Structure 1
Amino acid sequence: MEKCSPLKVVMIPWLAMGHLIPFLELSKCLANKGITVYFISTPKNITRLPKIPANLSSYIHLIIIPLPHLDRVPDDAESSMDVPSTMQPLLKSRFDLLQHPITVFLEKVRADWILYDFTSYWIPPLASKMGCCCAYIALFNAATLSFMGPPSELIANTRTSPEDFTIVPDWIPFESDIAYRLHEVMKLIHSVDADIATPDTVRFGYSIAGCDVVGIRTSPEFEPTWLHLLANKLYEKTILPIGSLFPHYLVDNDEESDCILLRKWLDQQKSDSVLYVALGSESILTQNELEELAFGLELCGLPFLLVLRNHEHGLCKNVLEMLPKGFENRVADRGLVHLGWAPQMKILSHPSTRGFLTHCGWNSIIEGLGLGRIMVLFPVMNDQGLIARLLVGKGLGVEITRDERDGSLRREAVVKAVQLAMVHKDGEALRIRCRSMKGVFGDKNLNDHYIEGFIHYLEKNRKSS
């Protein structure tokens, strides 16, 4: 039998760093097996990507397609972190305008597979017309996807009131406490432009229903019951775990002065002592939230590294000005506040780092647990509340409590969660479980096993010759 030629795969991620980076990691995994990858994104986002390892650069082709103009969206807004949350639906509508130039590219390259994100719900009919296969790459854990529901439910968009999202849905047949808090739902649905754009639920529904296979960023070792529910009841189609896509390639700008200063500070701390605090590229805290978080870090008495980012939209002053007066001086002997980008993987892998206070983005959870760090959970937006409930239920994190209705935060809750996770004797079992997750999320052999299974499926089921 004639051996098949190497696969040609097109990647179409959503315009968010939390989606671009794992799609690039998957691209690296495929390229490492000799597969040709065409990675499509916009000019600014392509420049934001980390460097591709030299040994893989000939396999990964970065395809730049400019975003067409759309009224009410700034022309230079190419990522979800470039716009406030209220403009996200419009950014997705602008992303939909890429359908035509992407179609033109697909007609030229004639790929075997198109691997796409939830926003590109228009890919399945395109792929069918061109005679190629398509896979929806779900960058969400199986529990979150199960809470969202089957494709028919998503397309019908049946949950209409905020309270509908605060209860476990009927299609989950076993006991679960994974649901949103009311304040999380109110933040999630607060979008002035949602009425003029395709809802996310509909995008998810058609992306799932129309694909040939679902590749999901998780593993049976972490959530076997949820994966079984998705495959056998909710989706009723092939679901392939692709592992954690743990970023084993650490290509960072170590020569930058900020990185050197951070490393020097970490080098000066005691081994296994520091709490790393970072809330992602898109999360925006209110004045009250940031003040209470800062006071909590001050009162907990532990060494910490707090990374903050300024956002060009939505804030009228520098984020450092939002910190309590005199905060940096009072904690100077054991705390460091860093403004701007920080090499998260390098910080998490440093011997002095013990815990990770995180916004619960799935990327950050994978990086933290993949390095065995102790998790303090502070969900801020999107699916992060669901992820926090999942981890708490598995004994893999302590969630900082908020007022259930308005989401207000108190410094005492920060102190309680941090001390329990980091030092209190009652948190020892938690610390042991978190460290054991290094063998699930961070195990290269295990993750390679799922990638190889995914590639085998792609090769076996491609349509083109």
Structure 2
Amino acid sequence: MDASMEINQKSIRVLMFPWLGHGHISPFFELAKKLVKRNFTIFLCSTPANFISIKQKLINEDLTEKIHLVDLRLPSLPDLPPHYHTTNGLPSHLMSTLKKAFAKARPIFTQIINSIEPDLLIYDLLQPWAPKVAAEKNIPSVVFVTSSATMFSYMFHTFRYPNSEFPFSSIYYRDYELARMVKNQELEPIEQQQKDNTSVKLCFKRSSNIVLIKGFKEIDGQYCDYISSLTKKRVVLVGPLVQEPTSEDGNSQILTWLNQKSKGSTIFVSFGSEYFLSQEDREEIAHGLEKSRVNFIWVVRFPKGEKLKLEQALPRGFFKKVGERGMVVEDWAPQAKILGNPNIGGFVSHCGWNSVMESMKIGVPIIAMPMHLDQPLNARLVEEVGIGLEVVRDKDGKLDGEQISEIINKVVLEKEGESIREKAKIMSETIRVKGDEEIDDVVQELFNLCKTRSNVV
């Protein structure tokens, strides 16, 4: 009897446990959706603050019987009420407090795993205690990396060879990015930084034989091989895991506006749910959009409790100058639906990995404006693959509006950007042809891990 026949005899119960960021929960949720189509039952564990957006999706996609939400009630800490139990909109000075609360959740998680009795745990990178709890119950566990293989090969190289250059010369941090990282690290206690690094190493170490990474071999292959050589774990890629547009986004006022524009004439500008632009950056981006020759939809976000009126946040006279060419929206826009619209010709992105994958799948070229963490390395990868161009800051890390407009025009409109636009289309077709090739491999790997457990026939 082959594995595909065996696996169909009884559903495999998987407990999924992502870190408390939207950029982590979203790919875990997309992986869950793929697995439930292949006879898995999923229990997705996170805080109620993170389930606000997920609950409606479960109803809309008729998944409430297959994906079960499990509330993780974090211990109460000063300055961290329940609506802050997520990185989405979290003021940056509270990040280490959230990590502390999360680290204290082990006893609650132990109760959850005892109650659900899963066949498998799929966990994230900041909770090395989770696979330990699973191991005590003889439950196999696998770490799922939602960032790029490029980033993690760089990270593990730095762990192993701190004074040696990364062997892939196109992937690096610029001097101003390194300076910003040092500055950002000053906001977080050194003990917390060391804990995070140790957590990542332990989470890899405690993963059962394999690690799952979001991506596909055409762009990630060499970086996955390097991760394997550094960690002695086999990397299994899960594909792009891009959220499909949903019907409830269809009547949006934004889309009505976008539908009135001409094909490829408009860009989408968004920097993710967890990064907030400085006033200086906002002004330069506004200047760049104003000077460009394209229409734009710009999503502007503020940290919780620090909201400004758009008229205050943007340069005086901005709305009058851009007129019907631009639409600025607060907090959220239906990104997948917008990027999939034929009138979109480019994506000004921070290069978070979810956004890069989405752009690749849909075939929209990227104007890269990385901010921090893995984003600069992802931006270098975007240029290496040939599907976008980066707006490079000056030596002090400052953006320039004139350069922003030049790069936008080049990528979206000019002859110089033709090869980029073409490569973006080819990448999209490559992903379309592959379909769920990676997921089928993942299912086989997960089944192999679970088949020794007595309650899987």
Same fold judged by TM-score > 0.5?
yes
Task: Tell me how far 1:254 sits from its aligned partner.
Answer: 4.0
Contact 1:12 1:40 in 2 (8 A): yes
Of residues 56-65 and 135-144 in structure 1, the stretch that sits farther from structure 2 once superposed is: 56-65
Q: Which among 326, 339, 342 is matched to residue 348 of structure 1?
A: 339
Task: Tell me how far 1:224 sits from its aligned partner.
Answer: 1.7
Letter in 2 for 1:377: A
- 2:326 and 2:398 map into 1 onto residues whose CA distance is 24
- 1:44 and 1:122 map into 2 onto residues whose CA distance is 22
Q: Does 1:296 align with 2:288?
A: yes
Task: Tell me how far 1:96 sits from its aligned partner.
Answer: 1.5
- 1:316 and 1:303 map into 2 onto residues whose CA distance is 25
**Aligned residue in 1 for 2:43:** 38
Of residues 366-375 and 195-204 in structure 1, the stretch that sits farther from structure 2 once superposed is: 195-204
Contact 1:188 1:381 in 2 (8 A): no
Q: Does 1:461 align with 2:452?
A: no
Q: Does 1:199 align with 2:195?
A: yes
**Aligned residue in 1 for 2:136:** 129
What secondary structure sits across from 1:275 in the alignment? Answer: strand
Task: Tell me how far 1:392 sits from its aligned partner.
Answer: 1.4
Q: Which among 19, 42, 47 is matched to residue 52 of structure 2?
A: 47
Mapping for residues 167-178 of structure 1, pairs under 5 Å: 169-170=164-165, 172-178=166-172
When the two structures are superposed, what TM-score results if normalisation uses the length of structure 1? 0.90
Contact 1:93 1:197 in 2 (8 A): no
Q: Write out per-residue CA displacement over residues 132-183 of structure 1, whole angstroms, 9 at most, x where no aligned residue.
A: 1101001111111110016xx64x9x86xxxx7xxxx44x434333235334
Structure 1 residues 178, 439: CA separation in 2 closer, same or farther (over 3 Å shift)? farther
Letter in 2 for 1:223: D
Task: Tell me how far 1:43 sits from its aligned partner.
Answer: 1.2
Letter in 1 for 2:453: S
**Aligned residue in 2 for 1:389:** 380
Q: Which among 433, 437, 440 is matched to residue 452 of structure 1?
A: 440
What secondary structure sits across from 2:84 in the alignment? Answer: coil
Q: Does 1:437 align with 2:427?
A: yes
Q: Which among 259, 262, 276 is matched to residue 254 of structure 2?
A: 262
Structure 2: where are the runs of 5+ without partners?
none
- 1:278 and 1:226 map into 2 onto residues whose CA distance is 27
Q: Which among 292, 315, 327 is matched to residue 318 of structure 2?
A: 327
Letter in 2 for 1:203: S
Contact 1:309 1:319 in 2 (8 A): no
Q: Give the helix-richer structure, 1 or 2.
A: 2
Q: Does 1:412 align with 2:409?
A: no
Letter in 1 for 2:172: I
Contact 1:90 1:193 in 2 (8 A): no
**Aligned residue in 1 for 2:417:** 427
Contact 2:73 2:108 in 1 (8 A): no
Letter in 2 for 1:453: D
Q: Does 1:242 align with 2:234?
A: no
- 2:235 and 2:15 map into 1 onto residues whose CA distance is 19
Mapping for residues 264-283 of structure 1, pairs under 5 Å: 264-283=256-275
- The count of corresponding residues between Structure 1 and Structure 2 is 443
Letter in 2 for 1:408: K
What secondary structure sits across from 1:272 in the alignment? Answer: coil
Mapping for residues 371-386 of structure 1, pairs under 5 Å: 371-386=362-377
Task: Tell me how far 1:379 sits from its aligned partner.
Answer: 0.7
Q: Percent identity?
A: 28
Alignment root-mean-square deviation, CA = 2.2
- 2:64 and 2:28 map into 1 onto residues whose CA distance is 15
Contact 1:216 1:241 in 2 (8 A): yes
**Aligned residue in 2 for 1:15:** 20
What secondary structure sits across from 1:281 in the alignment? Answer: coil
Q: Does 1:221 align with 2:190?
A: no
Task: Tell me how far 1:72 sits from its aligned partner.
Answer: 4.0
What secondary structure sits across from 1:438 in the alignment? Answer: helix
Contact 1:14 1:20 in 2 (8 A): yes
Structure 1: where are the runs of 5+ without partners?
none
- 2:202 and 2:248 map into 1 onto residues whose CA distance is 37
- 2:192 and 2:233 map into 1 onto residues whose CA distance is 31
Letter in 1 for 2:360: L
Letter in 2 for 1:225: Q
- 1:174 and 1:351 map into 2 onto residues whose CA distance is 35
- 2:141 and 2:119 map into 1 onto residues whose CA distance is 8
Task: Tell me how far 1:243 sits from its aligned partner.
Answer: 0.6
Q: Which among 95, 99, 102 is matched to residue 92 of structure 1?
A: 99
Task: Tell me how far 1:31 sits from its aligned partner.
Answer: 0.7
Structure 1 residues 27, 407: CA separation in 2 closer, same or farther (over 3 Å shift)? same
Q: Which among 141, 145, 150 is matched to residue 138 of structure 1?
A: 145
Contact 1:222 1:440 in 2 (8 A): no
What secondary structure sits across from 1:368 in the alignment? Answer: helix
Contact 1:215 1:241 in 2 (8 A): yes
When the two structures are superposed, what TM-score results if normalisation uses the length of structure 2? 0.91
What secondary structure sits across from 1:306 in the alignment? Answer: strand
What secondary structure sits across from 2:232 in the alignment? Answer: coil
- 1:339 and 1:19 map into 2 onto residues whose CA distance is 22
